[in-house]
């Protein structure tokens, strides 16, 4: 895998993916989407690790979609442009493994939509978030209108998207867009520490919990409970039994991903 924008690394059972286009504040262009699709296919096929951390190089996580690519589009081209971003971020969201966004600077427009497609968001105190598309006479096109309302509520999403204002990391944390804050120099360390902890839990349990949370939020509540019940029971075939025995025997579980 030879990429021009993405820099993949691996630390044991944790992957770290860095967006590296710092001169453009890691703006998302067609090359980025081609590379990300290829990388996600690699994760799905080879299952090289159990948790993925995504971050950006330099002053930005990602400062939005590349406007120089957008400006020449007609409505049909814009529709395809939006659809490609939506489908790529759905592919990221649907990964069976947890994905942590380590947001180190600007996360605007498409960059904010990218971090919202991740499962957990950690931000440095100097991170800046926003969906400023209305400032260009546009609306978010990579599911920003849908994910932001689900994450922070309809009123908050309307405020931020309709105003085109940015928010700092503390405000993003206050409204629940971000789950934790770090000093800039400790952000990656903190993200990797969380990722390593998740990677040492029961592999099937972690993947099942992610699936239940992701699918259940848009389901009828009773159907979601039925789904939870069935998957809870399935874990008594292997990981659950080992985990409970280890607890009672006061030892570490001997799960497949911990051997």
- pLDDT tens digit string along 213-257? 999 999 999 999 999 999 999 999 888 999 999 999 999 998 775
Same domain, 195 and 207: no
Q: pLDDT category, 259, cuts 50, 70, 90?
A: very low
Copy the structure tokens of residue 204: 């099937």
Task: Flag whether pLDDT at 178 surpasses 70.
Answer: yes
In a domain, 68, yes or no: yes
Number of structural domains in the chain = 2
In a domain, 246, yes or no: yes
Angle between helices 239-248 and 203-216 (to 10 degrees): 120
Same domain, 69 and 132: yes
Task: Flag whether pLDDT at 258 surpasses 60.
Answer: no
Same domain, 228 and 182: no
Active site residue 113: yes
Active site residue 185: no
Same domain, 22 and 88: yes
Mean pLDDT of 141-161: 97
Q: How far, in Å, are 8, 11, 17, 122 from residue 20 at the CA level?
A: 10, 19, 9, 19
Task: Flag whether pLDDT at 37 surpasses 70.
Answer: yes
Whole-number pLDDT of residue 235: 95
Mean pLDDT of 117-127: 98
Same domain, 183 and 217: no
pTM (two decimals): 0.95
Whole-number pLDDT of residue 34: 96
- pLDDT by residue (tens digit) across 73-91? 999 999 999 999 999 999 9
CATH of residue 89: 3.90.226.10
In a domain, 136, yes or no: yes
Same domain, 210 and 194: no
Same domain, 143 and 195: yes
- Of 175, 199, 223, the one marking the end of a domain is 199
From the list 47, 113, 242, 249, the catalytic residue is: 113
Whole-number pLDDT of residue 255: 79
Mean pLDDT of 187-193: 98
Q: pLDDT category, 1, cuts 50, 70, 90?
A: low
Same domain, 247 and 120: no
The count of C-alpha atoms lying within 13 angstroms of the C-alpha of 134, restricted to the half-sphere facing its C-beta, is: 13
Same domain, 68 and 175: yes
The residue segments making up the domain with residue 26 are: 6-199
Report the C-alpha gap between 47 and 42 in whole angstroms.
Answer: 7
Copy the structure tokens of residue 79: 């529709």
Task: Flag whether pLDDT at 114 surpasses 80.
Answer: yes
Average pLDDT, the chain: 95
Same domain, 136 and 236: no
Same domain, 114 and 172: yes
Same domain, 193 and 220: no
In a domain, 1, yes or no: no
Q: pLDDT category, 2, cuts 50, 70, 90?
A: confident
Mean pLDDT of 103-121: 98
CATH of residue 248: 1.10.12.10
In a domain, 30, yes or no: yes
Whole-number pLDDT of residue 33: 97
In a domain, 118, yes or no: yes
Cβ atoms of 108 and 115 closer than 8 Å: no
Cβ atoms of 104 and 214 closer than 8 Å: no
What percentage of the chain reaches a pLDDT higher than 70?
Answer: 98
From the list 93, 133, 228, 242, the catalytic residue is: 133
């Amino acid at each position: 895998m030879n990429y021009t924008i993405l820099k993949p690394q691996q630390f044991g059972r944790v992957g770290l993916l860095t967006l590296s286009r710092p001169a453009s504040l890691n703006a998302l262009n067609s090359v980025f989407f081609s590379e990300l699709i290829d990388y996600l296919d690699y994760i799905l096929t080879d299952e090289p690790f159990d948790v993925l951390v995504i971050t950006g190089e330099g002053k930005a996580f990602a400062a939005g979609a590349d406007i120089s690519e957008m400006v020449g589009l007609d409505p049909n081209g814009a529709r395809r442009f939006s659809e490609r971003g939506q489908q790529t971020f759905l592919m990221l969201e649907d990964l069976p493994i947890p994905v942590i966004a380590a947001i180190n600077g600007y996360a605007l427009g498409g960059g904010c939509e990218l971090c919202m497609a991740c499962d957990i968001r950690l931000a440095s105190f100097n991170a800046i978030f926003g969906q400023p598309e209305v400032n260009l006479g546009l609306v978010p096109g990579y599911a920003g209108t849908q994910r932001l309302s689900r994450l922070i509520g309809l009123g908050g999403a309307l405020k931020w998207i309709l105003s085109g204002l940015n928010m700092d990391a503390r405000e993003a944390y206050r409204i629940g867009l971000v789950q934790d804050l770090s000093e800039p120099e400790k952000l990656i360390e903190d993200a990797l520490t969380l990722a390593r902890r998740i990677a040492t839990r029961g592999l099937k349990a972690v993947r099942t919990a992610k699936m239940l949370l992701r699918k259940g939020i848009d389901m009828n509540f009773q159907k979601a409970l039925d789904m939870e019940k069935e998957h809870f029971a399935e874990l008594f075939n292997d990981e659950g039994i080992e985990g409970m025995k280890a607890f009672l025997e006061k030892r570490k579980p001997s799960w497949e991903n911990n051997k």
